[in-house]
Structure 1
Amino acid sequence: MEHDSTVYVGLDVHKESITIAYAVDAGEVEAMGKIGTTLVEIDRLCKRLQSKAPHVRVVYEAGPCGYGLYRRLIKQGFDCMVCAPSLIPKKPGERVKTDRRDAIKLARSLRAGDLSAVYVPSVEDEAFRDLARAWASARDDLRHARQRLKSFLLSHGVHYIGRADWGVSHRRWLSKYSFENAWRQLAFDEHRRTIEDRLAQCDRLEAALREAVVEWGLYPAVLALQAMRGIQFITAVGLSSELGDLSRFEHPRQLMAWLGITPSEHSSGGTRRQGGVTKAGNSYARKLLVEAAWSYRHAARVGTQIQFRHEGLPKAIIDRAWDAQVRLCKKYRKLATRGKNVNVAVVAVARELAGFIWDIGRLAMSLALPRHTVRPA
C-alpha cells in the first residue's frame, strides 16, 4: 500500500443494504459486494477500506436515508460526499440499472470529479428544519381539510352568504349549520372535526417553533429577514431552515441558481436562447420566495407591521431592507410598463429578492444580534 494512494468508493444506499464499489488510484473499478446498514457492518466496512489505501474518498446519492451514514464516515476520518442524484452523468441509451452498476458508476464519477455535492446541514440545523417542515405540512393539511369541507358544502348546494375566509362569522355559521339527513350530518361533523384537529396541531407546532427558534444558531438571520417587506415569521423561518448558513454561497448568483429562479438556456454557436426558470433545487424555498415577491407590486412604504419588526434591529439591516423595497418595487413597475406578464415580473423580482436575502442574512450573522433583541413575531 503506497502512502499517497487514494481509494475511491461508491455506495448505493438503500433501507436495508449498501452495495459497494471501489477503485485504488487509476485502477479498475471493482465491486466489493453488499452489506447491511447496521453500525457494526459499517464499521467493518471502514476497516476494510482503510486497508486498501491511506486516503479514502466515499460518495453516495442523497435520498430518503438521510445523512446518518455521512456523519458516521466523517467521524471515521473519511472524505465523504453526498451527491445530487439529478446531476450524476448518464450515458445516452443506457437501459440497464442495478445496484452494482450504480455503485460502480458513483466510484468512477467520483474519481473523475464529475459529481456535485449537496449541502449537509448540522445536526441542530437538520432538527430545526424537521420541526419547520412539520409545521409547514400541518398548515398544508389544514388548507386541504378546509378545501374538502368547502367542496362538500358546494356539492350539496350549501352557500355561505359572505366571505368564506374562515373568520369568526364564517366559523360561527359552520358550527350552527346542520343537515336533515343523519348520515350526511355525520360526514359534515367529521370534516369540521378534522379542521379543528389540524388547527390544534398547527398551534402546537407554531408554539414549539417560536420557543425553539430563539435557541437556534441562525436566529439572527430569522430576525433580520423579517425586516424586509413580504417576509414575516412563517417565511423567515421557512427560508432560513431550508437555506441554512448563507455563508456557503460565495455570491448571490449561486443562491439564485440553487433556488431555481435563474433562466434556463440553450445556446449554440452565435445563437443564444433563454427560456423559463430552471426550477431546480428546493421547491418549498422557491415557493416562499415567490410568495414574498408578490408584495413588491405596490409602492415602497414602511407600514405599522414592518415598523414593529424593525424594533431593536441595527440601522444597517433596516437601511438594506429599505433599499430592497425601493429597488424591487421600481423593478416591478418597470417590467409591468413594458407589458411583461405579471407572473414573469414577480419571478424576476423574486430573483433579485434572493440577492437581498443573501446580503441581509450574512450581515445579520456577522453582527451577532442579541437573542433578546426582537420577539419572533
Structure 2
Amino acid sequence: MLAKLHRSGELTAVWVPDAAHEAMRDLVRARATAMRVLGKARQHLQGFLLRHGRIYAGKRGDSGLSSLAHHGALRSSSEPNRSAGLHSCSDRAEARVDCLTKRIEELAPQWSMTPFVEAVQAMRGVAFIVAVTVVAEVGDFSRFDNPRQLMAFLGLVPSEHSSGATIRRGGITKAGNALARRALIEGAWTYRIQARVSRKLHDRNERLPQAIRDIAWKAQVRLCGLYRRLSAAGKPKVIVTTAIAREMVGFLWAIARQVQLGPAA
C-alpha cells in the first residue's frame, strides 16, 4: 500500500532533524522551561516581600523583577532569616538560564541553521533567542510552499466551525508549535512603537544582504501601521499582537526563502 501511495504521489515527505538540530532544539526548550521556573521563583519572592511591606519605591521597567536595580533593592530590603531560601531559588534559576543561554550562543556558530538565525534577526522583535527558538522549532522552511502553511504549523490561523453553508471563524487554532508561537507573540509587542531602526537592529542588519533588509523594513512599516489601525478600531491588545505575530510569520518565510535562494536572488 505504501508503494502504491508513493507511486501515485499521495505521500507527504516528513522532514527529519539531524542530531545537531535536535541538540539545539533541546537546549532551546530547556531554556524556555528554566525561564518559566525563574519567573515563578521571582513571583514567590515578590509576593513574600509584599506581604511583609517590602515595596520597591524606584522606577520599574517593563522587565519588572528582571531589572538589576529592582532585584538588588529587594534583596537588600528583605530580612535574611525569612527570605534566604527564596533568594537562593531565584539565584539558582537565574544561573541556569544564563548557563543555557551561553551554551546556545556557543553552539550556534556550528549549527547548519545559523544563516537563517542571522537573517531573521533583521526583523524587529526577533533578537537572537527568539530567532534561535523559531528556527529550531520550525526547522526546514522549504517544506512550506507558502506562508499560510507556516502560519498553520504555528497555530496562528483562525479556527473554523462549519456546518453546511454556515461558516464561523473563531480564535487561533493553537494547534501548532506553542514555544515558537509564544516567542513570536512576545516579539509582536515591539510593533506598538513607530517604525524606526534602533542601534541594536542596525548592528544586526549591517552584514545582511540588501534584499533581506528591504523585507525587514517593509515588514516593520506594515506591521507598525497595522498595530495602530487595529488598536484604533478598539481591538483588544492580545488580539492585535496575535494578528501581528501571524503577519510576522509571512515575512520570516520570505526572509528564509531569500537565504535558501542565495545571494544571487
The runs of 5 or more residues in structure 2 that have no matched partner are: none
1:174 to 74, 83, 99: 74
Within the alignment, does 1:213 sit opposite 2:108 as a pair?
Answer: yes
Which one has a bigger Cα radius of gyration?
A: 1
**Cα distance change of structure 1 residues 119 and 187 upon mapping to structure 2, 3 Å threshold:** farther
Given that 2:54 and 2:77 are in contact with CA atoms closer than 8 Å, whether structure 1 keeps it comes out as no
| Deviation, structure 1 residue 142 | 1.4
Matches of 1:119 and 1:159 in 2, distance apart? 52
| Deviation, structure 1 residue 334 | 2.3
Within the alignment, does 1:336 sit opposite 2:231 as a pair?
Answer: yes
Within the alignment, does 1:266 sit opposite 2:161 as a pair?
Answer: yes
The runs of 5 or more residues in structure 1 that have no matched partner are: 1-5, 9-54, 58-78, 80-112, 180-184, 369-377
Given that 2:49 and 2:78 are in contact with CA atoms closer than 8 Å, whether structure 1 keeps it comes out as no
Q: Specify the SS of the correspondent of 2:163.
A: coil
Q: Residue 292 of structure 1 aligns with which residue?
A: 187
Letter in 1 for 2:22: E
Given that 2:223 and 2:244 are in contact with CA atoms closer than 8 Å, whether structure 1 keeps it comes out as yes
Within the alignment, does 1:139 sit opposite 2:32 as a pair?
Answer: no
Residues 61-100 of structure 1: per-residue CA shift (max 9 Å, x gap): xxxxxxxxxxxxxxxxxx9xxxxxxxxxxxxxxxxxxxxx
1:189 to 77, 80, 84: 84
Alignment of 1:10-25 (within 5 A): none
1:275 to 170, 175, 189: 170
User: What's the % identity of the aligned pairs?
Assistant: 46
CA RMSD of aligned residues (A): 2.5
Matches of 2:189 and 2:72 in 1, distance apart? 32
Given that 1:227 and 1:317 are in contact with CA atoms closer than 8 Å, whether structure 2 keeps it comes out as yes
1:149 to 45, 67, 83: 45
Alignment of 1:1-377 (within 5 A): 6=1, 119-162=15-58, 163=60, 165-179=65-79, 185-367=80-262
Given that 1:220 and 1:365 are in contact with CA atoms closer than 8 Å, whether structure 2 keeps it comes out as no
Matches of 2:51 and 2:15 in 1, distance apart? 47
Matches of 1:117 and 1:150 in 2, distance apart? 50
Matches of 2:257 and 2:44 in 1, distance apart? 42
Greater percentage in helix: 2
Given that 2:115 and 2:259 are in contact with CA atoms closer than 8 Å, whether structure 1 keeps it comes out as yes
| Deviation, structure 1 residue 187 | 4.5
Given that 1:225 and 1:236 are in contact with CA atoms closer than 8 Å, whether structure 2 keeps it comes out as yes
TM-score, structure 2 length as denominator?
Answer: 0.87
Matches of 1:148 and 1:367 in 2, distance apart? 49
Matches of 1:238 and 1:291 in 2, distance apart? 12
Matches of 2:12 and 2:172 in 1, distance apart? 20
Given that 2:54 and 2:78 are in contact with CA atoms closer than 8 Å, whether structure 1 keeps it comes out as no
Q: Specify the SS of the correspondent of 1:272.
A: strand
Q: Specify the SS of the correspondent of 1:273.
A: strand
Q: Specify the SS of the correspondent of 1:222.
A: helix
Greater percentage in strand: 1
Which is bigger in relative contact order (C-alpha 8 A, separation at least 6)? 2
**Cα distance change of structure 1 residues 328 and 173 upon mapping to structure 2, 3 Å threshold:** closer
**Cα distance change of structure 1 residues 305 and 178 upon mapping to structure 2, 3 Å threshold:** closer
Given that 2:54 and 2:74 are in contact with CA atoms closer than 8 Å, whether structure 1 keeps it comes out as no
Matches of 2:56 and 2:222 in 1, distance apart? 42
| Deviation, structure 1 residue 117 | 8.3
Q: Specify the SS of the correspondent of 1:165.
A: helix
| Deviation, structure 1 residue 223 | 0.4
Matches of 2:224 and 2:73 in 1, distance apart? 40
Q: Specify the SS of the correspondent of 2:170.
A: strand
Residues 122-144 of structure 1: per-residue CA shift (max 9 Å, x gap): 22211110111112222222111
Given that 2:148 and 2:250 are in contact with CA atoms closer than 8 Å, whether structure 1 keeps it comes out as yes
